[in-house]
Structure 1
Amino acid sequence: MIDDRFETGQITSRIGISATASLFDNNNDLITLIKDDDQSKPLNCILIDEAQFLTKEQVFDLSDVVDKLHIPVLAFGIRTDFQGELFEGSKALLAWSDKLIELKTVCYCGSKATMVIRPNAQGIPVKEGAQVEIGGNDRYLSVCRKHFKEAVRD
């Protein structure tokens, strides 16, 4: 699944800054892709957005990029889905990363937001469905654990 809300092959910030991006999917061997790119033009750093969607094997490949190719990797993503479950990539990153830096997000109550809820068109939190649905601030709401638990209770 590719997020093409802006443009395929581009990474775009919420404020409109964009840059060319290399696309890959769950079937790609990242160590091979990165090694090939590095041989054609030396890479200084690898940036991965939406890292929660990586496979366990791809996270392992990225650790080889750091350990064997000596190229730093910065991966950005969220830990859990709208049901409070870890994504495969997040779980692997939590286990294999050398350093974790949490970017702070704030719940509507002012507390630290650590979870996300996915409201439907009527604003009611969705409790079942596909783990992945493309969208940003328009589809997901960052909340604290307390408000997440309140939202998902029957």
Structure 2
Amino acid sequence: MAVRVQEADFDVGAELAALRRGKPQIGALASFVGLVRDVNDGSGVSEMTLEHYPGMTEKALKAIVDQASARWTIIDALVIHRVGRLLPTDQIVLVAVAGSHRGDVFAACQFIMDYLKTRAPFWKREVTGEGARWVDAREADDQAAERWQD
């Protein structure tokens, strides 16, 4: 189970191949890739800057992956989250989960992404035609994460 926070882009195909390499027990692999959109809340977005607390962010991501691993039967997981200046169409995040069966893999992947959006210490600043603004938490993200509460 790996988490990485980095400025550099990532190769989704290479990351997924590495995740499953040497693990013939894997029968399912689910992934999610988040991208920078060129519009948010009705305004054009020309760039986004993601900030985080080094060390604290990785610890929070690891805790989320550990929670998923405790809830579902999975073999491996990977979270890569980029920070720094990003442009529309740039990749922001990769969440990948591998396991024996699709049900656990789909659920764990969605759980990790939902919790990442609401519990990981990242801050987004967008540049729009109206100027720069910090992106507030979304109620829809909180609602998505709430469905996983026991």
Structure-1-length-normalised TM-score:
0.24
Specify the structure having the higher radius of gyration (Cα).
1
Q: Which one has more relative contact order, counting CA pairs under 8 Å at least 6 apart?
A: 2
Structure with more of its chain in strand, by fraction? 2
Structure with more of its chain in helix, by fraction? 2
